Amino acid sequence: MSSEKTLVTDNNTPVARLSPYQPTTTDELFKKMRGKIQYFEDLTTPTLEEWQEI
């Protein structure tokens, strides 16, 4: 497997950087957000409300 990073450009303007997948844990992934998000309902229950178009 290659560990090389690839830069994707459009007319010499960088639009994306591709790099190899690096596995991580959810604790590592969300550690900066811990304690900053509040929710007041059970997030796992389905909603019956229809969302309005923005």
At 40-49, the pLDDT tens digits run 878 788 878 7
Residue 33 lies in a domain: yes
Strands (E), 1-54: 6-10, 13-18
What pLDDT, in 10s, does the model give residues 12-45?
999 999 999 989 898 888 888 888 988 787 878 8
Residue 39 lies in a domain: yes
Q: Decide if 51 is inside a domain.
A: no
Specify the length of the chain in residues. Answer: 54
| Phi, psi values for residue 14, rounded to 5° | -60, 130
Q: Which DSSP symbol is given to 41?
A: S
pLDDT at site 2: 65
Domain count, the chain: 1
Whether residue 35 is contained in a domain is answered as yes
**Is 13 part of any domain?**
yes
Domain membership of residue 37 as a residue range: 1-44
Asked, for residue 23, whether it belongs to a domain, the answer is yes
